[in-house]
């Protein structure tokens, strides 16, 4: 049988042939089982002939310099810029997706720029970005491209950041995360019902990834929970989530509670009130977590870093804008308490800017 042409594509890893003639993709827990010519749920991985292919290798949805705080990462090179890009597609189906124009795009709709790993690394060097982020859509589904870009970045002295839902198969996660210096992993809710109903995914798989990244890798880890009114913002659910993070990951993993805005298939929910974010932060702190942040709102108290030893202000933030800096050698200047994260002597001064980048030069 003639194989289907998906356009430019790259052999994909993490799959096996089934006895019934189908091919099973093992990259994520969805385990799509495909006949010749079929695409997986993520749309960008497909069966071509007797193998899986990635149809978005070297194809990007565009590049921007962002503040690293926007990923969000508050303990990884604060104040620096990060060259951010994504491809197309996603392996979850979140009804509240805040990036749906990219995650739901078919490759041919969106992907404009041809971007080799070396060109991306060089663009980061040229623009002064300290890191490159795989974001906008989930790097899990473009793993082969992401790890090649990461290798080119490391060669050029640029760090790498994955922004991901952590919905990845056991076999693949070591390859992806060993290529990443930092990761922000979404913990979208804390019930199986939430993941099943709103994302067609599974909470357990994400919890496994969080434990894996924290305990089995050197990747710096932060977590984000988007609080959706009436869906995952009850004090009980926030308390259960925080207790789990404290027990399984420890007090020093930063946890971000961010504000939802109505989008995609969830237009009937209101914006998250600032009071809900503040309440969630207080609950998480009461469970012992040291670094709990509010996001997508102006909240100096909730977005700044405070010393877990003496309570002093360490890094002042207002949304993505940084102010006071009271760290020395990664320690609190007042009491000497060691602060977890990746810090340099001085913070960066990128500010809140967002600058589109063409690989040939800054727009
Ligand atoms: S990565 Fe894509 S093709 Fe593979 S199992 Fe997940 S959704 Fe299916």
Residue nearest to atom 3 of ligand 1 (CA): 40
| HSE-up of residue 359 (Cα within 13 Å, Cβ side) | 17
Distance CA 349, CA 50 (A): 51
Ligand 1 center–CA 55 separation, angstroms: 12
Whether residue 326 contacts residue 333, with contact meaning beta carbons closer than 8 Å, is answered with yes
In this prediction, residue 132 carries a pLDDT of 98
pLDDT tens series, the chain, 363 aa:
567 777 778 999 999 999 999 999 999 999 999 999 999 999 999 999 999 999 999 988 889 999 999 999 999 999 999 999 999 899 999 888 877 666 666 555 555 668 999 999 999 999 999 999 999 899 999 999 999 999 999 999 999 999 999 999 999 999 999 999 999 999 999 999 999 999 999 999 999 999 999 999 999 999 999 999 999 999 999 999 999 999 999 999 999 999 998 876 677 888 999 999 999 999 999 999 999 999 989 999 999 999 999 999 999 999 899 999 999 999 999 999 999 999 999 999 999 999 999 886 444
Ligand 1 center–CA 31 separation, angstroms: 6
Distance CA 79, CA 180 (A): 19
| HSE-up of residue 119 (Cα within 13 Å, Cβ side) | 16
Relative to the CA of 46, which ligand 1 atom is closest? 3
Residue nearest to atom 2 of ligand 1 (CA): 42
Give the SS3 label for residue 89.
Answer: coil
Ligand 1 center–CA 360 separation, angstroms: 33
DSSP H/E element including 211: helix 203-216
Distance CA 82, CA 67 (A): 6
| HSE-up of residue 363 (Cα within 13 Å, Cβ side) | 10
Ligand 1 center–CA 167 separation, angstroms: 10
């Amino acid at each position: 049988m003639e194989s289907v042409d998906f356009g430019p594509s790259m052999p994909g890893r993490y799959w096996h042939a089934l006895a019934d003639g189908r091919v099973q993709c093992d990259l994520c827990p969805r385990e799509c089982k495909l006949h010749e010519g079929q695409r997986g749920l993520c749309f960008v991985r497909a069966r071509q002939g007797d193998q899986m292919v990635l149809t978005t290798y070297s194809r990007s949805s565009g590049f921007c310099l962002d503040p690293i705080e926007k990923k969000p990462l508050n303990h990884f090179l604060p104040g620096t810029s990060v060259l951010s890009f994504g491809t197309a597609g996603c392996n979850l189906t979140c009804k509240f997706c805040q990036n749906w124009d990219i995650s739901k795009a078919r490759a041919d709709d969106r992907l404009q720029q041809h971007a080799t790993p070396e060109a991306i690394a060089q663009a980061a060097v040229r623009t002064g970005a300290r890191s490159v982020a795989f974001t906008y859509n989930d790097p899990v589904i473009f793993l082969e491209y992401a790890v090649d870009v990461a290798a080119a970045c490391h060669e050029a002295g640029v760090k790498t950041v994955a922004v991901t839902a952590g919905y990845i198969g056991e076999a693949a996660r070591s390859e992806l995360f060993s290529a990443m210096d930092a990761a922000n992993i979404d913990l979208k809710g804390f019930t199986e019902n939430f993941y099943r109903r709103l994302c067609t995914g599974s909470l357990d798989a994400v919890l496994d990834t969080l434990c894996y990244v924290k305990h089995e890798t050197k990747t710096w880890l932060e977590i984000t929970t988007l609080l959706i009114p009436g869906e995952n913002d009850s004090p009980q659910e926030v308390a259960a989530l925080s207790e789990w993070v404290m027990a399984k990951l420890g007090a020093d993993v930063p946890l971000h509670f961010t504000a939802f805005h109505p989008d995609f298939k969830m237009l009937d929910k209101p914006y998250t009130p600032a009071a809900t974010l503040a309440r969630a932060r207080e609950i998480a702190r009461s469970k012992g977590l040291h670094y709990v942040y509010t996001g997508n709102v102006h909240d100096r108290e909730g977005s700044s870093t405070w010393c877990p030893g003496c309570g002093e202000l360490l890094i002042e933030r207002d949304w993505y804008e940084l102010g006071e800096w009271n760290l020395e050698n990664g320690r609190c200047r007042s009491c000497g308490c060691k602060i977890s994260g990746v810090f340099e002597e001085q913070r960066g001064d990128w500010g809140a800017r967002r600058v589109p980048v063409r690989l040939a030069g800054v727009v």
